Structure formats: C-alpha cells, structure tokens
Amino acid sequence: MSILGALPEGLVCRPIDGADFDDVISCLERGFPERPRHHWQKALARMGRRPVVDDLPQYGYVLDTAGQIVGVMLTLFFRHGADEGIRCNLSSWAVDEAFRAYAGKLIMTAMRRRDVTYLSITPAPVTLKVTEALRFKRFAEGQHAFLPLLSFSGGGRTVAARPDTPELDALTQNERHILLEHAALGCDAFVCIRNGVTYPFVFKARSVLRGLVPCSQVIYCRSHADLSLCAGALGRHLLREGKILGIVDACGPIQGLLGRYFAGVGPKYAKGPNPPWPGDLAFTEFVVFGS
C-alpha cells in the first residue's frame, strides 16, 4: 500500500461533508463487509454530534474521482484536557482496490498537524505495516483480562456518575467532563471512593469469545494501580449488571488484578507529543461508534 505519490488528474483528497454520507458508507461497506450498513450510519451520526475541534474535519477524508468516492478514512479529533492537547483517532481506512496505490494520501493528509497525537487502536493486518512504517509506537502491547470481584482489594464504594452526583466534586474538571460525556454516550461511568480518595472510571460493555461472554472494557482510568485498588468495589457494582469479566489494555500482567495477560492481543499505537497510557481510550471509536 503506497504512502506517497502525486494523485492522478481527477482524483482529489478532501474532507467529508454531509452530502457524502451515502457514498462514504457504501465505500466503507466495500472495505469492511463484516460491518452492516447501519453500523456506519450510527457512527457518522454520533460523530456529527461531537464538537468540532479548531478547523479540523468533523468526519475525516475521502478520495474522490469525478464525484465518486473510492477511499475513506474517518478521523475523530478531540481535546483531552488542557495538558494533553488534541488527539485524533484514525479509523476505518478503506480504499477500493483500483485506487490502493493512492491510499497513503488519506493518512498523510489526516496527519498534517504535528501538535496532534494520532492514535491507531484497531489496525487491520493490511495497514499494520503502514502504521509501523510511519513510526507509530505501541502504547499497549496486549490486554489483561481480569475478574474484578475476585481481585485482592475489596474495600471502598462505587457510585454511578451523573450530573448531580456530589462525589464528582472531588475530581478535576477534565475528569468530570470525561465521566459525564461517556455516560451520555452509553458507557458505564463510575467514581470509586476508597479511604477518602475519589477515583474516576469508565467502562464500555462488550462481549468476547465470539460474542458469548459479556465483559467490560476499561475506557478510562488514571492508572492500573488505581484499577487494582478499586477492583473489588467496581466488581460488586458491575455484578449487578451481570458483568463479571473486565478487560484493560496493558503492556504486561497487572499486579493485583486476578486474571491473565494476553500478549499481542489488541495492540494499540500512537504517534505525537502526548501518547495515552494503557487504560485511556477516552473519546475514541470504541465509545463514539457505539458498538
């Protein structure tokens, strides 16, 4: 898959606009035949409800030849607190076979700003070599599956995050924003209070083992140490929803979380000035796409 090269006459790379949606979805269906059309309809609708960051595109970029869309890359730009700056989740890179030689134009156009941290969290095998050639670095090497209810820490209490939850006052403004925004997007957002200290957490319901086992993916926590410390209280809360298994990105086994580390499963990449830590997938496609 080519990275650079001039586009032939009549082929342009430009931002997606609302009038493109049907053709964008058709292109994504061709590139990801396992995904139904309503998945992309929902994804674009939810992206449209997110705030625009600076003058950056709301949806991403297309390759357009004479009005026909033959390539797509979705881009989720978001601010992650005052100190972390802007991040961009590069997602859903699909190019029709006849135009694969120009696929690199999409990613190079999307990555023009050096002050932005770019994420690739679901790289397909066909794009993995490109991701590594562009000097993306892994910020998560694998995943740790754990049973929070059986983890070694058992104290503390957990409260669901809502606008009127008084325990939110103990968090920073950015953490309150993360919890409430993710709760509005359908995630499980909690605060855990242990020994007078308040810890923020966001989980996303999903399933593993071919969809047979429900679990909770960690979308946001301050650190693995916080997750281990609050695992028992979080496990009791999640059990009421029928969830006994948790999954968190990691670079090795996590002390204090009873479970197993799976090296090489779900590796995630970043390039830019402020790469996330394993356990921070805030505002990425896992949340915004809704499935």
Provide mean pLDDT across the span 192-208: 92
Q: What is the mean pLDDT of the chain?
A: 91
Pairing status of strand 117-120 against strand 259-271: antiparallel
Q: What pLDDT, on the 0 to 100 scale, is given for residue 40?
A: 96
Position 4 confidence tier, pLDDT thresholds 50, 70, 90: low
Confidence tier at 94 by pLDDT (50, 70, 90): very high
Residue range 249-276, pLDDT digits in tens: 999 999 999 999 999 999 999 999 999 9
Instruction: Say what the pLDDT of residue 1 is.
Output: 45
Q: pTM for the full model?
A: 0.92
Q: Find the range with the poorest average confidence among 46-55, 195-204, 208-217.
A: 208-217
User: What is the pLDDT, as a whole number, of residue 123?
Assistant: 84
Given a cut of 90, whether residue 3 has pLDDT beyond it is no
Percent of the chain with pLDDT over 90: 78
The enclosing H or E element of 183 equals helix 173-184
Cβ contacts of residue 204 below 8 Å, gap of 6+?
187, 188, 216, 217, 219, 286, 287
pLDDT at residue 6 in the model: 72
For 110-147, give the DSSP string. Answer: HT--TTSEEEESS--HHHHHHHHHTT-EEEEEEEEEE-
- Confidence tier at 241 by pLDDT (50, 70, 90): confident
Q: Answer whether residue 81 shows pLDDT above 80.
A: no
Q: How confident is the model at residue 211 (pLDDT cuts 50, 70, 90)?
A: low
Sheet containing 188-194: order of strands: 11-15, 60-65, 68-79, 86-95, 117-120, 259-271, 137-146, 246-250, 213-221, 197-208, 188-194, 157-160
> 3.40.630.30, 3.30.700.30, 3.20.19.10, 3.20.20.10: which CATH number matches 11-135?
3.40.630.30
CATH 3.40.630.30 in the chain is located at: 11-135
pLDDT class of 130 with cuts at 50, 70, 90: confident
CA distances from 135 to 73, 90, 270 (A): 19, 14, 9
CB atoms near residue 131 (< 10 Å): 21
**What gap in Å lies between CA 62 and CA 169, rounded to an integer?**
43
Chain segment 133-177, per-residue pLDDT in tens: 889 999 999 999 999 988 766 678 999 999 999 999 999 999 999
Using DSSP, state whether 37 is helix, strand or coil.
helix
* More confident of the two residues 57 and 243: 57
Q: Name which residue leads in pLDDT, 78 or 206.
A: 78
Question: What pLDDT does residue 290 have?
Answer: 76
